[in-house]
Amino acid sequence: MFEHLLTLIWNRKRANALLMAELFLSFMVLFGLGSLVAVVTLAMRQPPGFAYADVWELRLTTNNDQTPQNPTLRRLLAQLRATPGVDDVSLAAFSTPFSGYIMSSNIRVEDKPLVSGAEVQADDHFASLLHLELLEGRWFDHRDDADKLPPIIINRELRQVLFGTGPALGQVVRSSHSSNLKEFNEGRVVGVTGSYRPGGDLGAPAPAVFVRQVLPDSAAGLTMFSHTLLVRVRPGSGAVLEEKLVRTVAAVTKTWSTSVISLPDSRAASLETALAPIWAGAAVCAFLLLNVALGLFGALWQAIGQRRAEIGLRRAVGATGPGISRQFVAETLVLTTLAVGPALLLAAQFPLLNAFGQPLAVYAVGMGVALVLVYGFAVLCALQPSWQAASIRPAAALREE
Amino acid sequence: MSPETDLRQPTAATFENAAPVLRLRDIEKVYQTKTIETVALNSVNLTVNRGEFVSIMGPSGCGKSTLLSLMGLLDEPTSGVIEVDGRAVTSYSDKELAGLRNLKIGFVFQSYHLINDLSVVDNVELPLLYRQGMGGGERRQRALAALDKVGLSARTGHFPGQLSGGQRQRVAIARALAGGPEIILADEPTGNLDSVMGEEIMDLLLALNREQGVTIVMVTHDMQQALKTQRVIRFFDGSQVS
């Protein structure tokens, strides 16, 4: 029977071409979306490399304050650390976790090729506040004040790229925000952290370098439009503490304004933004699938209308009602297979050619999602028309022509 | 099996056996809609013996085709009993009836009912697709043998659209023969053909009946053709009148 159905579908290839093209296209789009979902899911299942629960971000706007800001900041940090309910405070640069801002840097060791990574400016409290895992060496502290070379800390991924299995601690690393060799600054590696994903949940584990940020003792210092502080609070802290922090900022700084957002909220907002293209893709896929479903459904209805005599004939020569139903479902599945087969071959080229550098599992999930959805829709669309075909009375169908 | 193979399961010996192969007892068929009730057949009692060639005549709408559908187990009577080989099939399931049709009955229709997207030989193989345990090789051999019997060995790869009306009807007869049926039910088999082709088809049916002992029940409007058969049954307004 399978050979018979293949013959029948092959001989009707012109009539089926458009439908097969739709199925092919749907498979490829679903494969793309499925793979993207797999990438996101895999990324989300990996730990970000820091603990963000009970961490708040204070965004301070200086409101054109032209006075030296370092003394104010120092007083503010001391006041905040002394506030009941606050465990620790860190002066962070703008590239805080989930902020969406990543400062990229070119890093190299000796004459080895440049490595692109994220640069995170962090003070001495950053690691303990975010519970960063230290694999080698130590975090920044007062011992770095006297070192001629600025200390730097690298994460596991950057260590692997720069040093492989060789020693990392004490090595001199040069980094720059440009690729101009003259602008490279030297630093000495004093520690290695575990994976740290500055992009948050959806960012892949990538090389990152931590650069020490200190508040100079001098009364001078930069006047900036804004500062960002990370505050670890006691679990269960809420609006009362938040209000207290805002009042403290106002009391110390006089003119600065404050906004507070918890890192879990920031993460949720960041996820929403990051997932927006996926939802848009899903909407396109849903529309495409709806089109395919309508196409399949319509084509089958039309086929059954046109093939009533054939159905009557098949019943006359020995087919049962359920047999007719199965035949129409099987025809749909064969048609789907003929369209999905080449699509599957094309999709298989992505892992074979290592396109986009994703693991095999990502493409396997993409293919699986596409296969299940395309076949599922095909069967769903075939069921009702097939039942209709099975209910055709053969005597009536044979007399109609 | 060679193209010369006898396709029928019963041998020529059964030709002389006058045992009823098909019997209709007190058959009534009523078509009912919400507003109207149409009696298509009324108290029909009819026996067809093995090896007979029976023609059924009557004006349009008298119930001939309905009768043929009932004989072919394609429809159920409103009341009465249909017996095939002495067994009442009234309580048979859809699967059992389909099996009986496949094994014992071949159909020939006025409008041929060939599948245009299948080649001639694939069309002839169709009944054999529904036969349990028959492989592709045997199916093809039987189909080729049937086509040889109707003189279409040279057209096996053609498609129905490439054939004349007479050739199409020959293909339909080959399809009916391929399964080796005991009975062929032919519903106005020459109705769409000119007189010459009609004669050819009639001669073919007569030869099948005479030489191979195939039982044939034929609905026809053509008196001359009916007179060539062994028995003519006349219908009028759903009742058998002779």
Q: Which band of pLDDT confidence, cut at 50, 70 and 90, is reported for residue A102?
A: confident
The percentage of chain A sitting over the pLDDT mark of 90, rounded to a whole number, equals 36
Is residue B51 a contact partner of residue B213, using CB atoms and an 8 Å limit? yes
Positive or negative, the Cα torsion across A193, A199, A205, A209? Answer: negative
State mean pLDDT over A14-20.
Answer: 84
Q: Cα angle vertex B98, ends B94, B100, to 5°? A: 120
pLDDT value at residue B1: 37
Cβ separation A320–B98 shorter than 8 A: yes
Residue at A266: amino acid letter: S
Mean pLDDT of B10-28: 70
On whether residue B114 sits in a domain, the answer given is yes
Distance from CA of B131 to the nearest CA of A (A): 8
pLDDT of residue A190: 96
Is a pLDDT exceeding 70 seen at residue B36?
yes
Q: Would residue B101 count as lying in a domain?
A: yes
Q: B53-57 and B37-49 as β-strands: parallel, antiparallel, unpaired? A: unpaired
A160 with A215: CB under 8 angstroms?
no
Nearest to A349 by CA among A333, A337, A367: A367
Residue among B113, B117, B179 whose CB faces A313 most closely: B113
- Is B148 part of a structural domain of the chain? yes
Q: Among A12, A321, A399, select the one facing B117 at the smallest CB separation.
A: A12
pTM (predicted TM-score): 0.70
- Segment B84-91 shows an average pLDDT of 88
φ, ψ of residue A60 to 5 degrees: the values are -105, 125
**Does residue A401 have a pLDDT over 90?**
no
Whether the per-residue pLDDT at B7 is higher than 50: the answer is no
Q: B84 near B157, Cβ under 8 Å?
A: no
Task: With CB atoms and an 8 Å threshold, state whether A316 touches B74.
Answer: yes
ipTM summary value: 0.86
User: Which residues in chain B are closer than 8 Å to A321, comparing Cβ atoms?
Assistant: 94
Phi-psi region of A236 (alpha: psi -120 to 50; beta: other; left: phi over 0): left
pLDDT tens readout for residues A346-361: 999 999 988 887 889 9
For residue A220, the model assigns a pLDDT of 58
Decide if A382 contacts A329 (C-beta within 8 A): yes
A13 touches chain B (CB under 8 A): no
Q: What is the CATH number of the domain that holds B175?
A: 3.40.50.300
* Residue at B196 is within a domain: yes
* Segment A44-90, tens digit of pLDDT: 888 888 899 999 999 988 888 778 788 888 899 999 999 999 999 99
State pLDDT tens for residues A323-380.
Answer: 999 998 998 899 899 999 999 999 999 999 888 878 899 999 999 999 999 999 888 8
The first and second tokens of residue B46, run together, are 């009819």
Number of domains in chain B: 1
Query: Residue B27 domain-assigned?
Result: no
Around Cβ B74, how many Cβ atoms within 10 Å?
24
Is residue A366 within 8 Å of residue A38, measured between CB atoms?
Answer: yes
Tell whether B102 is within 8 A of chain A (Cβ): yes
Partner residue facing B130 (CB), from A319, A321, A401: A319
Residue range(s) defining the domain that contains residue B120: 51-70+94-240
A309 reaches B (C-beta below 8 A): yes
Element spanning B140, H or E = helix B136-149
Return the pLDDT at A201.
72
Given a cut of 50, whether residue B168 has pLDDT beyond it is: yes
CA distance A300 to chain B (A): 16
How high does pLDDT run on average in chain A?
87
Res. A197: pLDDT tops 60: yes
Residue B126 lies in a domain: yes
Give the Cα separation of B112 and B123 in Å (integer).
11
pLDDT digits (tens, 9 = 90+) for A81-100: 999 999 999 988 777 888 87
Question: Mutate which of B33, B41, B115, B187 to disrupt the A interface (most A C-beta within 10 Å)?
Answer: B115
Name which of A317, A334, A335, A399 to mutate to probe chain B: the one with the most chain B Cβ atoms within 10 A of its Cβ. Answer: A317
